[in-house]
Structure 1
Amino acid sequence: MIIGVCVFSTANLVFASIGGNRTPKPPGIEVTVQAGDTLWEIAKRYDEQAHMSTQELMYYIQQENQLTSAVIHPGDVLVIPLES
């Protein structure tokens, strides 16, 4: 019985490691930046739905999207923490 448990545990580890190479997609929706958009305006647009202040959401968007500043460009795709 102990051998059976060991074999079963090893099989679980192997199968878990096979599927473990995928990077999980962060929860949220994707928003494409339009001409004239600012990070503040985008955060303001979604702050209530995200249950965050505009400033908190701006920080989240910068962190989640690996932005080094608040500068965004048309065509950028940003993840916003909302259920799709």
Structure 2
Amino acid sequence: MSRKSLWIGMIIGMCVCSTASLVFASIGGDQSTKPAGIEVTVQAGDTLWKIAKRYNEQAHMSTQELMYYIQQENQLSSAIIHPGDVLIVPLES
């Protein structure tokens, strides 16, 4: 293999790596597209349903949809919450 072929191969390899880096960076997505959230401290008598119902119009979602998003955003394994818990309620801007 000649020196010229080696240089051309290296240049092509760097172009491929650069393109792959750009593609993988764009796959990660833009984190700023996530809905904005507010922090809500759970009060005595609150349920996930009540909190979702309180904010569903601001979030432009049904109560059930917002319950799902609250659970996902806060990584809750169930709908059980306790007074003093601080939840992120995702709201659309």
TM-score normalized with structure 1 length: 0.66
SS in 1 for 2:91: coil
Equivalent of 2:73 in 54, 64, 74: 64
Higher RCO (CA-CA < 8 Å; seq separation 6+)? 1
> 4+ runs of 1 displaced by more than 4 Å?
none
Q: 2:38 aligns with which of 9, 26, 29?
A: 29
Please tell me the residue identity of whatever aligns with 1:54: T
Listed one character per residue, the Cα deviations across residues 2-22 of structure 1 (whole Å, up to 9, x for unaligned) are xxxxxxxxxxxxxxxxxxxxx
Please list every run of 5 or more consecutive structure 2 residues that lacks an aligned counterpart in the other structure.
1-31
More helix by share: 2
Q: CA RMSD in A?
A: 2.3
Structure 1, unmatched stretches of 5+, are: 1-23
In structure 2, what residue type is equivalent to 1:49? Answer: Q
Pick one of 43, 62, 66 that aligns with 1:53: 62
Give the paired residue count: 62
State the TM-score, normalized to the length of structure 2: 0.60
- 1:35 Cα deviation (Å)? 0.5
Kept in 1, the 8 Å contact 2:73–2:90? The answer is no
Identify the residue that residue 78 of structure 1 maps to in structure 2: 87
What is the Cα deviation at residue 83 of structure 1?
Answer: 6.4
Q: Percent identity?
A: 87
